[in-house]
Amino acid sequence: MRVLLHTCCGPCASACVPRLKELGYEVTMFYSNSNIDTRDEFEKRAAEAVKLSEADGVNIVFDDYDHESWLRDVAKDYENEPEKGKRCLRCFRFNLERTARYAAKNGFDAFTTSLTVSPHKPSALIFAAGEEKSSDAIKFLPEDFKKKEGFKLSVKRANELGLYRQGYCGCEFSNLEMQRRSSVKNSQNSFN
């Protein structure tokens, strides 16, 4: 059975590819991340995904980078949502829609996503988005990769393979949130 793995980044996918292979699937990675704030960051993460595909011996396909569409279709009017909120659900839908479309067009049996590896992303929301994009032409495989210590495995493998692990989810709003958290931490440290 051929499965298309939406790949948010190399480190997360490093816990998914071996699990899918163990389950007997033939895996192709699909790097589709128009949510990422800059092209440089998009390409930096893409290069790490390539390293993983080479290490694990699987194919990788790249979607176009279209952050303008993402800003218009996902973030507009949802800029101030917190992480795990409505903007994130819209973001999951956006990326999984593109994954499902590519999978159906290219004869895959199912699609799934590495997004469930992250402890910061509720699997129930991701599954809801995946089921929504499932159709007669292509089924969503609801694999919860954070289970069975998936996140721990992703950290371990990323270290072993020397993969870059980014400090924020991807969009400019998560980047700002990371900067805000680190400036609060720095100012707390300066009082200690």
Interface residues toward ligand SF4, by CB under 6 A? 35, 83, 87-88, 91, 169-171, 173-174
Q: How many other C-beta atoms lie within 10 A of the C-beta of residue 104?
A: 17
Least Cβ distance, residue 169 to ligand SF4 (angstroms):
3
Angle value at C-alpha 95, between 163 and 135, nearest 5 degrees: 130
CA separation for the pair 78, 154 (Å, rounded): 30
**Least separation, in Å, of the C-beta of 47 and ligand SF4?**
19
Shortest reach from residue 166's CB to ligand SF4, in Å: 11
User: How large is the angle between the packed helices 150-161 and 39-56, nearest 10 degrees?
Assistant: 90
Nearest residue (CB) to ligand SF4, 28 versus 35:
35
Q: Residue 64 CB, nearest distance to ligand SF4 (Å)?
A: 17
Residue 62 or 78: which CB sits closer to ligand SF4? 78
Sheet holding 139-140, edge to edge: 59-62, 26-31, 2-7, 110-113, 139-140
- Least Cα distance to 133 among 100, 110, 111, 108 occurs for 100
Which residue number, 12 or 17, has a Cβ lying nearer to ligand SF4?
Answer: 12
CB of 143 to ligand SF4, least distance (A): 18
Nearer Cβ to ligand SF4, position 55 or 178? 178
Q: What angle in degrees, to the nearest 10, is found between the helix axes of 10-22 and 39-56?
A: 30
Nearer to ligand SF4, 15 or 91 (CB): 91
